[in-house]
Amino acid sequence: MSYDNDPRNIFVNQRNEYNERQSPREQPKKSSSQQTRSADDDYKSKVEEMKRLAAKYEREGEGQLVKDIVNNVIEQKARGQLSNEQLIAFANRVRPLLNNEQRVRLDGLLEQLLKI
């Protein structure tokens, strides 16, 4: 955006041209309130995604959940984005939240996933 050729606007023009050329990582940092808002929005979107997934698997059942987990693990392992150590760590974090029957099923699924 140019402010004609008025010499009084030379610095405004230069600043605007510079800002238009800046890459995203060179943009000024967000203020702490903007970062907080961004973190809040990110958290809220993650909560909404979890609610959506819970509703989906409540409709589709445990069998579909297991299929989706296995497919996701296969894809991530193929891309080198998931290790057996990460799977074990995840299972260890989830295990305390489950009842005995669910723990047995988790252990069986984990055993299968580690073989992939």
* Confidence at 40, pLDDT banded by 50, 70, 90: confident
Rounded average pLDDT over 53-60: 91
Q: Average pLDDT over the chain, rounded to whole? A: 81
Q: CA 37 to CA 116: how far, in whole Å?
A: 40
pTM given for the model: 0.58
**Taking a C-beta distance cutoff of 8 angstroms, is the pair 91, 65 a contact?**
no
Measured in whole angstroms, the distance separating CA 102 from the mean position of its chain's CA atoms is 26
64-98 pLDDT per residue, tens: 989 999 999 999 999 999 999 999 999 999 999 99
**Taking a C-beta distance cutoff of 8 angstroms, is the pair 59, 99 a contact?**
no
* Confidence at 37, pLDDT banded by 50, 70, 90: confident
4-24 pLDDT per residue, tens: 555 555 565 566 666 666 655
**Taking a C-beta distance cutoff of 8 angstroms, is the pair 113, 70 a contact?**
yes
**Taking a C-beta distance cutoff of 8 angstroms, is the pair 105, 78 a contact?**
no
**Taking a C-beta distance cutoff of 8 angstroms, is the pair 112, 87 a contact?**
no
